């Protein structure tokens, strides 16, 4: 048993889609979340910069004495695997659990992936899919503008601007007749209703947040690292820019009010 908190980080708000699923699956765990809201988006930066940020983000969580770290960010998970492996606590990203869920869901082996430019350029999801199922066909599409729309809270199913942008990104994938779509950026589960409406019921959406939280829960159980507490766990939130916008949009991500303090940290001071 291990009563220390689980650390979760993302470039901004997207990783809260993992936190939401963790809260459901592991209600007795304490969670420390860091959203690097002052430096979002990561998805249009160089892989070197993303690794550097990931190292700093993990450093901040380790200072909070976390027992496990989840890189709840498709971009970090795609290019900073070596940073996660070198940590003094176990860590995981979103690629492997999400790919496992997609492979379990697909019938035709025609799988779409949407993510940031860095994620798509890295080929991380495609490699993991092909490794497990070499005959699969993978069609990837970078959707950077969707990240901005989500950070701005433009997630309503009937938002015409969001629908127009999503349609433009998704049409090429529809032409490839995919039966499964990986939401390879943790911001995108919030757009699932818009995406589903465009793609129709024949395409199964794979939510990286749900797949990752489920995998984390089973790993902690296997390693006997779950909390021994039987009271409800607490959440602590840290951000690197002013917290007002975070709180407003975070409520949409979490599906509940954010009553906890959201603390601002200065990433300039972190080596």
User: Which residues sit at the interface with ligand DGL, rule CB under 6 A?
Assistant: 10-12, 14, 40-43, 73-75, 115-116, 119, 147, 185-187
What backbone torsions phi and psi does residue 263 show, to the nearest 5 degrees? Answer: -100, 140
Please say whether the dihedral angle defined by the alpha carbons of residues 19, 165, 145 and 128, taken in this order, is positive or negative: positive
Q: CA 211, 215, 217: angle at the middle one, nearest 5?
A: 120
Which residue among 143, 185, 216, 235 is the active-site one?
185
Per-residue tokens: 93: 């990203």
Give the residue with the Cβ less far from ligand DGL, 12 or 112: 12
Q: Which is nearer to ligand DGL, 119 or 204 (CB)?
A: 119
Q: Which of 120, 115, 191 is nearest to 152 (CA)?
A: 191
CB of 4 to ligand DGL, least distance (A): 25
Whose CB is nearest to ligand DGL? Answer: 43
Residue 207 and residue 212: Cα distance in Å, rounded?
9
User: Between 7 and 74, whose beta carbon lies closer to ligand DGL?
Assistant: 74
- DSSP three-state, residue 238: strand
20: Cβ–Cβ under 8 A, 6 or more apart, which residues?
209, 253, 254, 255
Note whether 198 and 166 are within 8 A (CB).
yes
* Least spacing, CB of residue 31 vs ligand DGL, in Å: 17
Q: Which of 73, 143, 216, 235 is catalytic?
A: 73
Report DSSP letters for 57-110, one per residue.
HHHHHHHTT-SEEEE--HHHHHH-HHHHHTSSS-EE-SHHHHHHHHHHH-SSSE
Rounded to a whole number of angstroms, the minimum distance from the CB of residue 135 to ligand DGL is: 27
CB of 186 to ligand DGL, least distance (A): 4
216 is catalytic: no
Q: Which is nearer to ligand DGL, 10 or 29 (CB)?
A: 10
73 catalytic residue (yes or no): yes
Nearer of residues 39 and 130 to ligand DGL, judged by Cβ: 39
**Strand ranges in the chain using DSSP code E only, listed in sequence order:** 6-10, 31-35, 68-71, 91-92, 110-115, 137-142, 180-183, 204-207, 235-239, 262-264
Nearer to ligand DGL, 180 or 208 (CB): 208
Please, what is the minimum distance in Å from the beta carbon of residue 6 to ligand DGL?
18
For residues 108 and 225, is the Cβ–Cβ distance under 8 A? no
- Least separation in angstroms between residue 50's CB and ligand DGL is 9
Instruction: Assign 203 to helix, strand or coil.
Output: coil
Residues assigned a catalytic role: 73, 185
């Amino acid at each position: 048993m291990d009563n220390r908190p689980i650390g979760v980080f993302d470039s901004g708000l997207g990783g809260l889609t993992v936190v939401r699923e963790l809260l459901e699956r592991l209600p007795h765990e304490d969670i420390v979340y860091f959203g690097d809201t002052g430096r979002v988006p990561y998805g249009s930066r160089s892989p070197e910069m993303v690794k550097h940020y990931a190292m700093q983000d993990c450093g901040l969580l380790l200072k909070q004495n976390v027992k496990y770290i989840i890189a709840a960010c498709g971009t970090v998970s795609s290019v900073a695997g070596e940073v996660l492996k070198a940590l003094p606590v176990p860590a995981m990203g979103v690629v492997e659990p999400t790919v496992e869920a997609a492979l379990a869901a697909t019938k035709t082996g025609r799988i779409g992936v949407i993510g940031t430019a860095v994620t798509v350029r890295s080929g991380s999801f495609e490699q993991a899919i092909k490794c497990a199922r070499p005959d699969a066909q993978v069609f990837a599409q970078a959707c950077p503008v969707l990240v901005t729309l989500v950070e701005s809270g433009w997630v309503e199913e009937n938002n015409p601007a969001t629908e127009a942008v999503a349609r433009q990104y998704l049409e090429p994938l529809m032409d490839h007749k995919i039966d499964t779509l990986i939401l390879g950026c943790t911001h995108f589960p919030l757009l699932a209703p818009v995406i589903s409406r465009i793609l129709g019921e024949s395409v199964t959406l794979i939510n990286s947040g749900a797949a990752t939280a489920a995998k984390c829960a089973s790993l902690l159980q296997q390693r006997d690292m779950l909390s021994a507490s039987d009271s409800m766990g607490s959440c602590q939130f840290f951000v690197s820019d002013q917290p007002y916008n975070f709180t407003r949009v975070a409520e949409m991500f979490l599906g509940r009010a954010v009553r906890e303090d959201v603390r601002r940290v200065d990433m300039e001071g972190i080596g």
